[in-house]
Amino acid sequence: MKRVNRIRFGYEWLDEILPEGMSYPTSTLISGPGGTGKPLVGFAFISSWLKNGGSIVLISIQYKSMDFIKITTKELYGLDLDDYKDRILYVQFNPDIDSIERKDRNYLEANLLKPENWDRTINIATEIKKNRNPGMLIFASALNILLFSPTYRELLLSKIGEILLKEKSNTYVFTVSTSAFKEEIANWEEKSDNLIMTRMEKPMRLFLKILRMKDMEFLKKEIEVPASKQMLMKIKEVSESSRNRIIPMLSKI
């Protein structure tokens, strides 16, 4: 019988639909229209991974800094990322540099428009982070934003698709919006091991449904994520502000 590594989340709403947890190493795509709170779901994966002893690479595409992730993770999941500094590498997207600049032991800036910099970032993370059980999780939200670069769009579609389909030395959790490049995002959805869809319902209620989960049983029903209206409004505001700042810039690259 095949031995499956698994991690359980410890959050009632996730444990309800994933009673066996999630297998690893796997790739997970959290997909849905813009403004449907996808990062909030992703932060639950981050929190559970750290609590279970793993290491994290946090890639910020749309946020100016990591402060929003820290604040939200603490408010929603009671986890202070500063307590896990030795197991977290922060990576800030910077399209104005050519490759990767290491600011300190736990912080990099990287031009993630260039596919080769994804490999370099993961290699650096592997060198400086202890790869203890359950290993390393790489989290990135709003990857669809990178597709607004006409120069790098096809290269990134291929690279991210390759990671989702073939890269099994680490665990990946990515969030993407289907509000633009829907057909391209569908290709990523097909290649991921695990697929989770989100939607928002008035007045500011977040729902998710699991469509696919490798090696694990799951409940085929939609559930509501216990996030407050204020939190959902905040993440929507931050996301809209980020898109308005980044997309015009990337459209010219």
List, for residues 160-207, the tens digit of each pLDDT value.
Answer: 999 999 988 899 999 999 988 999 999 999 999 999 999 988 888 999
Q: Read off the pLDDT of residues 124-164 as tens digits, 9 standing for 90 and up.
A: 888 766 667 899 999 999 999 999 999 999 999 999 999 99
Containing 108, the helix (H) or strand (E) segment is strand 107-110
What percent of the chain shows pLDDT beyond 70? Answer: 97
* Number of helices followed by number of strands (H, E) in the chain: 7, 12
Q: Which residues contact 188 (CB under 8 A, 6 or more apart)?
A: 29, 31, 157, 160, 161, 164, 174, 176
- Evaluate if residue 245 carries a pLDDT over 90: no
pLDDT band at 232 (very low <50, low <70, confident <90, very high): confident
Burial of 127 (0-12, 13-18, 19+ CB in 10 A): exposed
CATH topology of domain 6-250: Rossmann fold (3.40.50)
At residue 45's C-alpha, the angle toward residues 131 and 193, to 5°, is: 85
Nearest to 73 by CA among 5, 7, 169, 141: 141
- Of 46-60, 103-117, 226-240, which range is least confident? 226-240
Contacts of 157 (CB under 8 A, 6+ apart): 147, 184, 187, 188
Q: What is the mean pLDDT of the chain?
A: 90
pLDDT bucket at 1, cuts 50 / 70 / 90: very low
Q: How many CA atoms lie within 13 A of 97 on its CB side?
A: 13
Q: How far apart are CA 150 and CA 69, in angstroms?
A: 29
Q: Would the pTM count as exceeding 0.85?
A: yes
What's residue 130's pLDDT? 60
Q: Residue holding tokens 């203890």?
A: 132
Q: pLDDT tens-digit profile of 86-97?
A: 899 999 999 999
Q: What's the whole-number mean pLDDT along residues 227-250?
A: 83
Whole-angstrom Cα distance, residue 62 to residue 86?
24
